[in-house]
Structure 1
Amino acid sequence: MSSEFNQVNKLKKTPPQNENFSGSNPLQITEGVIKSSRVKDIPSDGKFIERLIKISRVTKVTKGGKKLSFRAVVVIGNENGKVGVGVGKAEDVVNAFKKAKTNGRKNLIQIPLTKSLTIPHPIIGDVGACKIILKPGVEGSGVMAGGAVRTVLEVAGIKNIIAKQLGSDNLLNNARATIVALESLITRREVERRLDIQNSTK
């Protein structure tokens, strides 16, 4: 009799098991709504993705004292030739991120891509003390870059490229220097059109 009573108590103490639960990741309990704790790039509006490069605390000294705010640097693009860098400041992180996204959408540029998803020719971009050198890569070489430069190139949709970073390590200036370099790219048709215009004016 005592053994049966002990078995009943054990059944009462054991919690009901969920069929969707896996011991390795407790976030999978909610019927597959949250499948993993790893954050992935989810396209917003079905077109653009955003990646946060850096978020930092900024202090402004005023007459009444120090005012604390946050600054967010975001790269936005559609992985098909459109990319932009945005900066936003606010009193909290969420609003700073939203302002940075809005600013990035205003600064979108369209870059020319080849069939092998690389740039048409080598180019150099300078912003402040940052210098970025970009060279086309053969198909299958991948994105050979790091830091903010790699983020900008991936969001732009470039799959094969070689990048070299010189000078300052400032993430914002490196991202802007990459945008300056990509914005300076020209296609073969544009070069031929310019040559035709020059020949016609002579």
Structure 2
Amino acid sequence: MSNARNKRNNKNEEQGLEAGLLDRVVKIKRCAAVVKGGRRFSFAAMVVVGNGSGQVGWGYGKANEVPPSVQKAQKQASRSMIHVPLVEGSIPHQVWGRYGAARVVLIPAGAGTGIIAGQAVRAVCEACGIHDILTKSYGTNNPVTLVKATLDAMSKLRTREQIAALRGLNPDDLIEA
């Protein structure tokens, strides 16, 4: 078992990923440029990377082949990671995120609920380490904008301690809503 894990970590290190990071390929697009001899294809990849315990980021890479585009996206994603506060495998409170036409609502769920989400939002939640969450997306179904809207929502999350510190209160003095 550990042999397989070491091989996986070595593969991640070869691709430019740090050990312990999970990556999910959200979307691979094939683009075509029409030239004199026909069409020249290139590929664009959208990747979400996370450590499974509250760190997540996204990247977008373009290249003439699929593997280099995924590697570029992974490298960019590992540089753009944000911290997401987690409370018992879920998020601390309900939050809305938006990007362009995409609107995403993230709702905390009880233990055992699982990840109720579409493909793009699910990839972000899994990479982040969220186990129980309810989500709903409105507007577009474009995975690129849904990932960005989800990360916008996650960047707005705050814990009780952070909110109390912003208000200059003791965390025990906050009223449950």
Q: TM-score range by the shorter chain?
A: 0.7 to 0.9
Q: Which residue of 2 aligns with 1:147?
A: 119
Residue identity in the other structure for 1:128: G
TM-score (norm 1): 0.72
CA distance in 2, matches of 1:78, 1:192: 27
User: How many positions carry a matched residue from both structures?
Assistant: 157
Shift of 1:51: 1.1
1:187 to 159, 162, 171: 159
2:135 to 159, 163, 173: 163
Alignment of 1:70 with 2:43, yes or no, is yes
Q: Which residue of 2 aligns with 1:173?
A: 145
Match of 2:166, SS? helix
Shift of 1:106: 1.3
1:118 to 79, 86, 90: 90
Match of 2:91, SS? coil
Q: After the TM superposition, which residues 127-146 of structure 1 pair with which residues of structure 2 at under 5 Å, given as runs? A: 127-146=99-118
Residue identity in the other structure for 1:125: G
Q: Which residue of 2 aligns with 1:4?
A: none
1:95 to 53, 65, 68: 68
Shift of 1:84: 0.8
Q: Percent identity?
A: 36
Q: Do the aligned partners of residues 169 and 190 (structure 1) sit closer, same or farther apart at CA in structure 2, a change above 3 Å counting?
A: same
Q: Which residue of 1 aligns with 2:175?
A: none
CA distance in 2, matches of 1:144, 1:178: 14
In the alignment, structure 2 segments of 5+ residues that lack a partner are 13-17, 170-177
Q: Which residue of 2 aligns with 1:107?
A: 80
Shift of 1:67: 4.4
Match of 2:30, SS? strand
Shift of 1:172: 0.6
Match of 1:47, SS? coil
CA distance in 1, matches of 2:122, 2:67: 24
CA distance in 2, matches of 1:160, 1:180: 19
Flag the structure with larger Rg.
1
